[in-house]
Amino acid sequence: MNPFYKTIIGKPEKWLVDAAAVVGLDYSELSHEITNHFINHVINRHGDPKKHGSSTITYADFELLSAIVKKPNIAIIGAKRWGLFCNVYIKIENDITWFYFDHVLDSKRNRTLRSDTLYKVTRQLTLDEVIKNITRNDKTDISKANILTIP
């Protein structure tokens, strides 16, 4: 079994702290964090070229995460996924729409925005298509979330 490790990829930007405050969440003391379990999950779930073709996630794709959380095109802050608060960051670039989810962990032991999943669609999606993609499987409730479009 692989040991669990985590890597901080940065602090939340001011726009994110402000957007979270709108839905009653305080991100001011949290950090963005990825884990080896997240990387393994994404590669196992979205990393098969036979199944995903040009949408396949590779290890090189993880290097984009810092840029995605700093300046996404669309952000959905304070959604609920599997009963936990989460954020969804959508970056649209070079005819690819990236989806990155993190969970809000705000306990005594874990105070972080921890990675959950990453996938991509090989075309530019509209806001309506992004929302449909996120909510289509009933895992994610965005009814009380703060939805932002960031120029």
Q: What is the pTM of this model?
A: 0.93
Which residue range(s) make up the domain with 123?
6-149
1 in a structural domain: no
**DSSP H or E run through 9:** strand 6-10
Which value, to the nearest 10 degrees, does the dihedral of the CA atoms of residues 92, 93, 96, 99 take? -40
**CA–CA gap between residue 122 and residue 56 (Å, rounded):** 10
**CA–CA gap between residue 62 and residue 45 (Å, rounded):** 14
137/19: higher pLDDT: 19
How much is the pLDDT for 82? 83
Q: What is the pLDDT of residues 93-121, one digit of tens each?
A: 999 999 999 999 988 888 999 999 999 99
| Both structure tokens of 88 | 């969804």
35 in a structural domain: yes
CA 70, 118, 139: angle at the middle one, nearest 5?
A: 110
What is the amino acid identity at position 55?
Answer: S
Domain count across the chain: 1
pLDDT value at 90 more than 90: yes
Q: What is the pLDDT of residues 16-70, one digit of tens each?
A: 999 999 999 999 999 999 999 999 999 999 999 999 999 999 999 999 999 999 9
59 in a structural domain: yes
pLDDT value at 1 more than 70: no
